[in-house]
Structure 1
């Protein structure tokens, strides 16, 4: 698991404050923000048939 996915996982589990996640995301360049959004969508329970 890469660093980005670890951070997303920690944010999803509320192991990091959301304010830290927002700051991290805002500091990313546009292409990386797009990659993060894509990874978050792919990991969402709706895509796995849950929720």
Structure 2
């Protein structure tokens, strides 16, 4: 699960962002990960101040 801000924050420039998103898409297509995006509209949520790892 990632916050929508993770996908919108510019870090490293457009080429780096494109490479990162391409990598995530490959992982998704291979079935190695599942991705859920928590939209801005949710507002503050309990996990915002913590880290969650599911295995």
Q: TM-score interval w.r.t. the shorter chain?
A: 0.3 to 0.5
Q: What is the TM-score of this pair, normalised by structure 1?
A: 0.39
Bigger RCO (CA 8 Å, 6+ sep) = 2
Higher strand share: 2
Larger radius of gyration: 2
